[in-house]
């Protein structure tokens, strides 16, 4: 006949296995939720970009470039690239298109001939003003039915995610 202590041991071992199994399943669900949230953020980003571009007829990146030029004035291409965290070839492509559409002007820096200064044109400012009107309505539509506290909480969560990504 088995000893009472060995029966208790067997029960405890089984209980530990169940707890570990529940933890493993819980972690898998949690990881699946985290993966799903990342995919949701990616889809949201893509969809927001598409809707913005459809409403304003300008890409979100080019919009950011024009806004940056309004804030900073005449700057080098490198300054734009660094402030917007865009790679060199992408900023060159965007600026070329904006220049062809006469939304920006690029000129050599008289003080340093190796640098090219970028400035927003009057046509670019007019485009930006039109985009801003659409942008305001777009943001109101996007955040419809969110309370102020929910928006603050969302902002805090996204700030923490950005901070965590920067640490990687």
One-character DSSP codes across 109-157? -SS-TT-EEEEE-HHHHHHHHHHHHHHHHHHHHHTTT--HHHHHHHHHH
> Which tokens hold the place of 14?
């089984």
The pLDDT value recorded for residue 30 is 64
Q: What is d(CA 90, CA 78) in angstroms, rounded to the nearest whole number?
A: 12
> Which tokens hold the place of 116?
């090219």
Average pLDDT of the residues of the chain: 84
The pLDDT value recorded for residue 1 is 47
The pLDDT value recorded for residue 58 is 86
The pLDDT value recorded for residue 15 is 62
Average confidence (pLDDT) over 64-73: 93
Q: What is d(CA 73, CA 88) in angstroms, rounded to the nearest whole number?
A: 20
Kindly list the distances between the CA atom of residue 115 and the CA atoms of 32, 74, 77, 100, in Å, as whole numbers in the listed order.
48, 12, 8, 20
- Name which of 139, 105, 136, 107 is nearest 122 in CA terms: 105
Q: Dump pLDDT digits (tens) for 27-43.
A: 555 667 888 888 899 99
Average confidence (pLDDT) over 47-68: 88
Q: What is the largest CA-CA distance in the chain?
A: 99
Q: Taking the model in full, what pTM does it have?
A: 0.68
pLDDT above 60: residue 141: yes
Q: Dump pLDDT digits (tens) for 86-95.
A: 999 999 999 9
The pLDDT value recorded for residue 168 is 87
Q: What is d(CA 152, CA 157) in angstroms, rounded to the nearest whole number?
A: 9
Q: How many residues are there in the chain? A: 168
pLDDT above 70: residue 97: yes
Q: Where in the chain does DSSP place strands (E)?
A: 75-76, 104-108, 116-120
């Amino acid at each position: 006949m088995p000893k009472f202590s060995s029966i208790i041991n067997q029960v405890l071992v089984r209980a530990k296995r169940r707890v570990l199994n529940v933890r493993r399943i819980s972690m898998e669900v949690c990881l699946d939720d985290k993966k799903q949230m990342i995919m949701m953020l990616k889809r949201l980003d893509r969809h927001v970009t598409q809707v913005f571009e459809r409403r304003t007829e300008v890409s979100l990146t080019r919009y950011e470039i024009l806004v940056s030029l309004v804030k900073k004035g005449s700057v080098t291409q490198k300054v734009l690239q660094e402030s917007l965290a865009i790679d060199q070839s992408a900023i060159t492509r965007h600026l070329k298109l904006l220049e062809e559409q006469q939304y920006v002007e690029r000129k050599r820096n008289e003080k340093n001939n190796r640098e090219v200064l970028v400035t927003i044109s009057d046509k670019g400012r007019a485009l930006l003003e039109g985009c801003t009107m659409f942008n305001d309505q777009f943001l109101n539509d996007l955040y419809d039915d969110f309370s102020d506290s929910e928006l603050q909480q969302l902002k805090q969560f996204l700030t923490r995610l950005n901070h965590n990504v920067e640490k990687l």
